[in-house]
Amino acid sequence: MTNEKNILQDSHGRDHGYLRISLIERCNLRCTYCMPEEGVKLSPKSHLMTYEEIYEIAKTFVNHGVTKIRLTGGEPLIRKDIPVILEKLATLPVELSITSNAVIIDKFIDILKANGVKKINVSLDSLDAAKFKHITRRHEFEKVYNNILLLVKEGFIVKVNAVLMKGFNDNEIIDFIHFTKDLPISVRFIEFMPFDGNKWDMSKMVTYAEVMNYVNTSFSKDQIVRLQDAPNDTSKNYKIEGYKGCFAIISSVTNPFCDSCNRLRLTANGQLKNCLFSSTESDLLTTLRAGNTIEPVIQKAVQAKFKIRGGMDTLDKLQQPKLHNNNRSMITIGG
């Protein structure tokens, strides 16, 4: 029998109130660290959740205590029925947010507002158009940059995610921080993480400590303000005195925040992942389509969650390709 009361609490006492739903495996960018060069094998359309199924599964999670849902992908905004998905999910008592590369987000301002989406995370790994093209394999820098300005102007709460890679964009850390001088955004530097096919190695990663070295050599001690992190926050938050925005570091590799993890992930083909780094998945969609209740599957998956990074609890384990490649590539997980 399913313990109806608290199926979202794991064996380490963590409650999971935050569900990230990937809507699509495809993307309009081709970021090298996110998807393998040769592309990914896409699920047949019939294996992807329909908007009704997304709603049914989300509703079950909300009934059991989920209060935040973030839509991601692939690129969630290239899914044709995104307006209906937003409308359906907006009827649930949750905070609805979205992670996007913002290439086409200017066309969705009204729809996002009408459905109560206030928080938008935008990925931007370089402030230099040529480097942007290099990392995304697409010429869309101007659109993304202008759309960030537009989102701020339209009153959205905007976080800009930059994955740092040594020798590529670590020399832009201070430029990104200056970007927060007149814009009320949070720039979040993300440690490059290993996933299937992304050619990760430790030496390419820029660590939390290294980011802070750049910051400490460019600003004086009394200019750097350590901000209070929110509960369940994945980031260490800072600002420069007098700047409108702030910056943060997401140190999943060198300083994992697993103790306070409250996140679960649903892939576009309806698989529940209890951790970004987990090598196992639980098939909610097949269960739902068979007409069965999905709660026991959810409960089992949550109970099986490892204490740290899908069981890769040391840096040594995380560095072993046979362990971290035993997972999807990020584009099909939904970051």
Distance CA 49, CA 267 (A): 9
Neighbouring C-alpha atoms within 13 Å toward the C-beta of 39: 7
The number of residues that bind ligand SAM (CB under 6 A) is 20
161 sits near ligand SAM (criterion: CB under 6 A): yes
The residue written with tokens 């840096």 in the block is 315
Q: If we measure between CA atoms, which residue out of 99, 102, 109 comes closest to residue 143?
A: 102
Least gap, CB of 332 to ligand SAM (angstroms): 9
105 sits near ligand SAM (criterion: CB under 6 A): no
Least gap, CB of 300 to ligand SAM (angstroms): 26
Select from 45-53, 99-107, 276-284, 296-304 the region that touches ligand SAM (CB under 6 A).
Answer: 99-107
CB 158 within 8 A of CB 188: no
What is the three-class DSSP state of 293?
A: coil
192 sits near ligand SAM (criterion: CB under 6 A): yes
Please list the residues that pair with 266 across neighbouring strands: 21, 272
Least gap, CB of 245 to ligand SAM (angstroms): 17
Least gap, CB of 138 to ligand SAM (angstroms): 11
Q: Which of positions 194-253 make contact with ligand SAM (CB under 6 A)?
A: 195, 198
Angle (deg, nearest 10), helices 141-153 and 129-136: 110
Distance CA 266, CA 275 (A): 10
Least gap, CB of 188 to ligand SAM (angstroms): 8
Least gap, CB of 264 to ligand SAM (angstroms): 16
100 sits near ligand SAM (criterion: CB under 6 A): yes
Distance CA 261, CA 309 (A): 10
The residue written with tokens 């009934």 in the block is 63
Among 99, 115, 126, 299, binds ligand SAM (CB under 6 A): 99
Beta-strand pair 186-191/157-164: parallel
User: Between 53 and 92, how does the x/- string for binding to ligand SAM read (CB under 6 A)?
Assistant: -------------------xx-x-----------------
> What residues line the site for ligand SAM (CB under 6 A)?
27, 33-34, 72-73, 75, 99-101, 123, 161, 163, 190, 192-193, 195, 198, 330-331, 335
